[in-house]
Chains A and B, each alone.
Chain A
Amino acid sequence: IVMTQSPLFLAVTPGEPASISCRSSQSLLYSDGKKYLDWYLQKPGQSPQLLIYLGSTRASGVPDRFSGSGSGTDFTLTISRVEAEDVGVYYCMQALQISYAFGQGTKLEIK
């Protein structure tokens, strides 16, 4: 399964919304009704951290300005109001099929 993110670079004014798209080459909707798509954020100089799993469930401690949505092959990470601490590279990952695969990453910067 190949994961394709867009855009690869995003510059956003604080307080404005931001959206990142992730498309998978195969459906990530499994027979159990769940969508196996995760979102991770890698802040500068840090390890990746989990933001969203199963397409739309926020991980523990993740602010509610982050939300995930999508169908079987098209997914979106939305930040309702970008803050300075949100800078970094965002990755989607298909979590359905071994070998699990990440998108190329979307770098978010603050204007």
Chain B
Amino acid sequence: QVQLVESGGGVVQPGRSLRLSCVASGFRFSSYGMHWVRQTPGKGLEWVAVIWHDGSDKYYTDSVKGRFTVSRDNSKNALYLQMDSLRGEDTAVYYCARDPGYSDYGATMDVWGQGTAVTVSS
């Protein structure tokens, strides 16, 4: 069945780095754009980043620009989020999500992973 499984979360000190992974199964991964979305108790859901199906374009929310990098390896059906210079406000559950491309413009997320928790604390 169609599935996304995240991993790589954990507890990390401020200023350090962490790399999240998301492995896809049950669909042609290379045909879909992919998003990262995070959820904090205080702020709800926040879109983080998107990468085009072939990795040709990437976009980020302002608060992570220059610190986070989204990438993918279509040969491994894998999506990544490299998080550098982590801050306390990056503490959240991070979800990867598939974009079905229902339209030529805009975004939708039709399949979500179970999430991986990141805690940034000294």
Taking Cβ atoms with an 8 Å cutoff, the residues of A that contact B are 30, 32, 34, 36, 38, 40, 42, 47-50, 53-54, 57, 59-60, 91, 93, 95-96, 98-105
Are A47 and B95 within 8 A (Cβ)? yes
B108 interface contact, C-beta 8 A: yes
A57 to B63, CA, bound (A): 31
A104 to B104, CA, bound (A): 27
B27 proximal to A (CB < 8 A): no
**Min distance, Cβ A24 to any Cβ of chain B, angstroms:** 13
Q: Mark B43-82, 1 if CB is under 8 A from A, else 0.
A: 0111100100000000111100000000000000000000
The stretch from B9-17, B83-91, B112-120 touching chain A is: B112-120
Of A30, A91, A99, which is within 8 A of B105 by CB?
Answer: A30
Residues from chain A with Cβ under 8 Å of B112 in the complex: 47-49
Closest residue of B by beta carbon distance from A47: B112
| Interface residues of B, Cβ cutoff 8 Å to A | 37, 44-47, 50, 59-62, 95, 102-110, 112-115
Beta-carbon contact of A47 and B45 below 8 Å: no
Across the A-B interface, the 7 shortest Cβ-Cβ residue pairs: A47-B112, A36-B106, A102-B45, A100-B47, A95-B106, A99-B61, A53-B108
Give the chain A neighbours of B104 by CB distance below 8 A: 32
Q: A30-B106, A48-B45, A99-B47 are in contact. List 6 more A-B contacts (CB 8 A).
A: A36-B105, A38-B107, A47-B114, A53-B108, A57-B102, A59-B110
Q: In the bound complex, what is the Cα–Cα distance between A62 and B52 (angstroms)?
A: 27
CB nearest to B115 among chain A residues: A47
List 24 interface pairs A-B (beta carbons < 8 Å), by A numbering.
A32-B105, A34-B103, A36-B103, A36-B107, A38-B107, A38-B108, A38-B109, A40-B109, A42-B45, A47-B113, A47-B114, A48-B95, A48-B109, A50-B109, A54-B106, A91-B44, A95-B106, A95-B107, A95-B108, A99-B59, A99-B61, A102-B44, A102-B47, A104-B44
Shortest distance between the CB of B53 and any CB in chain A (Å): 16
Give chain A residues whose Cβ lies under 8 Å from the Cβ of B105: 30, 32, 34, 36, 96
Q: Tell whether, in the assembled complex, residue A34 and residue B61 are in contact, meaning their CB atoms are under 8 Å apart.
A: no
Q: Which of B44, B45, B62, B104 has the most CB of A within 10 A?
A: B45
